[in-house]
Every structure is written in structure tokens, then in C-alpha cells.
Amino acid sequence: MDHRAPVYVAGHRGLVGSAIWRRLEAAGFTHLIGATSSELDLRDRSATFAFLAEHRPAVVIDAAARVGGILANRDHPTEFLSDNLRIQVNLMDAALEVRTPRLLFLGSSCIYPKYAEQPIRESSLLTGELEPTNDAYAIAKIAGIMQVQAVRRQYGLHWISAMPTNLYGPNDNFDPTSSHVLPALIRRFDEARRTNAPEVVLWGSGTPRREFLHVDDLADACLHLLEHYDAPEPINVGVGADVTIRELAELVARVVGYTGAISNDLSKPDGTPRKLLDVSRLLALGWKPSVDLYDGVAATYAWYQQNREQAS
């Protein structure tokens, strides 16, 4: 990759986009392009086409999406489907219009069937039913994969797609109604410690297993893929190991310093029983994660303490 070429990072202020921006700057890229959602609403087709026509990036990294945890996905499937489809279609159509030679589309591990064989291989895509609490978001991301493959097949552009596992890190969303599980736990255990609450109640049984990847590792993997991967199939990005939600909660409690009780609300949904990605194809390309889960959570909590009002 030419480090002087224009690179557009869509969603560059978010959890993923900001990490990718930092990684590209550290690697010496000198022509990074970003626009906040107030400056460019990617759901606006004409504005998106005008923006790409003006900047004509050599690389587009699509880290822009409407995202949220199990509660947000369950309660707002219409918005998760509609907004993400429009963002993706507008951005990729505009990139195709200016013949952007390299594009990385970031999906999600929720694209895979609810009961996929573990660890989940990329070939599991479209082999079974989706988890109903986030099927709308998953369908949108699957459509993005299909669009990348269609553009490659029809126009020969070197576009790729990557499917990250559950992410966390600085600039995450800690809102109590729309956050993912790890930032939600950090916020709740922090509040419990500061208020001396005797108990923290977890949603569901605590037995589902999840894999967690620090966003800085994802950013490093994205750069590695842009430099070393060129195939139509999506490629998984993860750490290759998982923990139960209960184990995760206990880890967060240790990091935060909370010593009260942890109980479970069995009336709340568990979601997919297990979601562990097979990352053998990525490892074979010479990449591996570097951030330990405990260290990553500790660093994220430190960031949250310094940015509590903004993050919430």
C-alpha cells in the first residue's frame, strides 16, 4: 500500500474507526480522510456520492454502522436493518462509481447461524438460522458481504470483507440501553463500586460463551489484511479463545475493584449459546493478537474513568 495515497475511514470517530485511524497514522499513512456523521450522513446517497467524487480515495475502510447490544438490536430491528443497508449500499456504490481499487468492509460475527459448529468457520455463512435478537443487523451485514463479492466478480476490484468477533476498547459506547456486553459490565460494576451496591445482576444465565478482541488488535489486523489478503470470501478476525459471560463479569469485577455479589436474572435472554470464531485463515497470513483480555479490560476501564461523561 502507498502510504501517501488517500485513505477514507468511514466512521473514524467510533470505536473501530478511531482505532484504525490511530493504527494507520502509526504506520505512516499521511493522507487520511474522515468525516463526522454531522459532516456526512452516509444514509444520504447524493451526499455520499459527492464526497467520494471529491476525494477519490485509493482505499475505503467501512467502519461506519449503526451498532448496539442485545437490547438495542431486539427493540429496534427496523433501524438496524434500514440504516446499515443504506450506509453500506451508498458507500459501496459511490466507491464503485469512482472505481476505488481497494475497499475493506467490516461485518460482524453475528452473520453466522445461531447453532453453527464451533469454532465458527467462514464457510458456515448461510448454512442455518440466525440468532433472532440480532437477525436484522446480521442480514444487513450479510448483504454487505454479498455486495463486496458481486463487485469483485463483475468489476474485478480488489475489495475484501472481514468479520470481527466482539470488540471493546477506548471510544466504546457505555450507554446503559444500547451498549454491548463488555462496556455495559464495566459501567455497571463501576457504578456498583462507587455506590457500594451489594449486588450486580447479570442478564440471563451467565453461561453463554463469547470471544473478545481489543479494538487495537482489530485495527492491526485490518492493516495486515489490506496488505496481505485478496479473496472474495470473508475472513474472521478474533483471538481464538472465549469465556463465559459469568467469567467475564468476574474479571470486570476484579478490574474495577467490586467485591459485592453477582447474581443472574433468568427472565432475560441469553442470545446465542456460543460464538467463537475459527481464525486459522488469518493466523496463516502471519497475524496474531497481542492484547491479553485482562490487560485490555483494565486499559479500557482506565479510559472509561477518564471519559465517563462522554462515554455514557
What residues are annotated to the active site?
A: 137
CA distance 173 to 311: 6
Q: Count of CB atoms within 10 A of residue 165's CB?
A: 23
Cis omega (within 30 of 0) on the bond before 289?
A: no
Q: How far apart are CA 52 and CA 32, in angstroms?
A: 13
CB 17 within 8 A of CB 217: no
Burial bucket for residue 281 (CB in 10 Å: 0-12, 13-18, 19+): middle
Of 115, 131, 154, nearest to 139 by C-alpha is: 131
Q: Give DSSP secondary structure letters for 76-117.
A: -HHHHHHHHHHHHHHHHHHHHHTT-SEEEEE--GGGS-TTPP
CB-based contact 55:33 (threshold 8 Å): yes
